[in-house]
Amino acid sequence: MSRPVEGSPPGDVVLEGRGLTHYFRVGGGFFPSRLRALCDVSITLRRGYILALVGESGSGKSTVAKVLARLVAPTSGQVLLDGVDVLRTEPRRASLRFRGRVQMIFQDPYASLNPAHSVGYHLERPLVRHQKATDAAARRLRVHSLLREVGLEPPETIASQWPAELSGGQRQRVAIARTLAVEPDVLLADEPTSMLDVSIRAGVLNLMRRLRDGRGVAILYVTHDIASARYVSDAIAVMYAGQIVEQADGETLVSEPAHPYTRLLLAAVPDANQDPLPLPAIRRGAPSLVDPPAGCAFAPRCPEAVERCRTHVPEVTEVGLGHLVRCHRVHEGGWQSGEVPDQS
C-alpha cells in the first residue's frame, strides 16, 4: 500500500514494490487497447515474514509477483531491493545478484521443470551459475541436502530421477529446492499448491512456514484460496481489479474485514464447519480492466457505494494497527465492521 506500515511485524524490509502500475497491451493491429493490470500497488516483503496476496483470477496478483521477480517491467513504479530501486540501477534486465536474492516458484510443476534433465541437474545448475559450489563433490552434497530440506528422500535416488518419474507434489518440491539452491532472501510463490493433490498441499504449505522460521526467508504467497492464506501467512493483502483493497494480519482480516469486497469474498468461501454466511446479492461480475470504472473499481458491485465511490478513487486508510483499507466508507462508519452487508 502507499505508505509504510507502522508498528508492524518484525523483520527488516527486503523487497518492496512502490506505486506499481502496469498496463498490458491487448488486441493487435493499429488500435490496440490497454488493460490495466495493476494500479498503484505498494507491497512490502520482510525477513521471516509471509505475506499472502489473495484475489480472484484477473485481479493482478500474479502480475505483482512477476513484476517483483522482474519478469515483467511495470509501466511505472519502483521495485526496491534493500532500499535501492533496481529498475533504475539495472534497467534492462535483472542482474545475477538480484536473481540470487529473489527467486520465484511457479504454479505448474509439470511445466517448470525440463523433462530432458535429471532432478540433480536442475539443482546443480543454479549452484554453478551463482558460484555456490564450485567442485563436483561439493555440489553433489549440496544437492542432497537441498533435497532433504524439502522432504525428498532418499536424495541419492531422487537426484538421478527424471521429472517424469515424480508426482506433482514431488516436482513442486524440486522446484522449491531449486530456488533454495541460491539461498535467496525472497521467495515469490505464485499459486504453488493449486496444481497439487489435496493431501499433498499441506506439506508444501508447512514447508513454506519452515523456510520462514528456519531461514528467515521473506515470502510472497500468491493464492486464490483465502483459507490457506490464513493458514500460512503473517498478513494477508486482498486484491481487486489491480489494486490492494485491504491488508491486515490473517486473524483481523478474517474476523473483522473492513472492505466490502473482503466480506463478499469471505462469505463465498465454502466452509464445512459452519453454516454458510448469507451472500450479498451481487450479480454483476468484475469490472472491465480495459475501461476501468472512474472511481473505486468495486463500486459497481458494492452494496454500500455512494456517489463519491463512483467518481473518486479511495485512498488507503489505516483503520487499526497495520490494517489498511482502500474504501471511502471507512471514514464514515457507514457499517459495522465484520458485518456482511445486505443489499436490500
Partner 1 sequence: MNEPVLRVRDLRVEYGTTAGRVRAVDGVSFEISPGEIFGLAGESGSGKSTVAKALLRLLGPPAIITGGSVMFGTEDVLDLDERSLAQFRWRRASLVFQSAMNALNPVMTIGEQLTDVILAHGGTSSMRARQRAATLLELVGIDPERLKSYPHQLSGGMRQRVVIAIALALDPPLIIMDEPTTALDVVVQREILGQLSELQAKQHFAILFITHDLSLILEFSTRIGIMYAGRLVEVAPAGRIATSPAHPYTRGLLRSFPSIRGPRRTLSGIGGTPPNMRCPPTGCAFHPRCSDAIACCSSEVPDFRSVGSTHKAACHVL
**Interface with partner 1 by CB under 8 A: which residues?**
56-57, 167, 169-170, 197-203, 205-206, 224, 226-228, 230-231, 250, 254, 264-274, 276, 279, 282-283, 285
Rounded Cα–Cα distance for residues 121 and 140 (Å): 10
Distances (CA, A) of 198 to 102, 205, 272, 325: 28, 11, 15, 32
Query: What's the min distance (Å) between Cβ of 201 and partner 1?
Result: 6
CB of 75 to partner 1, least distance (A): 25
Which lies closer to partner 1 via its Cβ, residue 226 or residue 309? 226
Is 253 strand, coil or helix? helix
328 phi, psi to nearest 5 deg = -65, -35
CB of 113 to partner 1, least distance (A): 16
Cβ proximity to partner 1: between 69 and 253 the closer is 253
Question: Least CB distance from residue 13 to partner 1, whole Å?
Answer: 26
- Read off the DSSP letter of residue 106: -
Nearer to partner 1, 251 or 307 (CB): 251
User: Quick one: cell of 196?
Assistant: 497439487
Q: Which is nearer to partner 1, 33 or 206 (CB)?
A: 206
Quote the CA–CA distance of 210 and 195 in Å, as a whole number.
Answer: 21
Beta pairing partners, 323: 320
Upstream peptide bond of 154 is cis (omega within 30 degrees of 0): yes
Q: How far is the CB of 234 from partner 1 (least distance, A)?
A: 12
How far does the chain reach from its first CA to its final CA, in angstroms? 32
How far is residue 47's CA from residue 188's CA, in Å, rounded to a whole number? 13
Cα dihedral value 15, 190, 128, 72, nearest 10:
-70
Output 17 or 257, the one with its CB closest to partner 1: 257
Please, which residue, 83 or 270, has the CB nearer to partner 1?
270
Task: State the minimum distance, in angstroms, from the CB of residue 304 to partner 1.
Answer: 16
Q: Least distance from C-beta 169 to partner 1, angstroms?
A: 6
Q: Which residues contact 108 (CB under 8 A, 6 or more apart)?
A: 195
Query: Between 156 and 197, whose beta carbon lies closer to partner 1?
Result: 197
Specify which residues 182 forms β-bridges with. Answer: none
Cell numbers for 317: 486508510
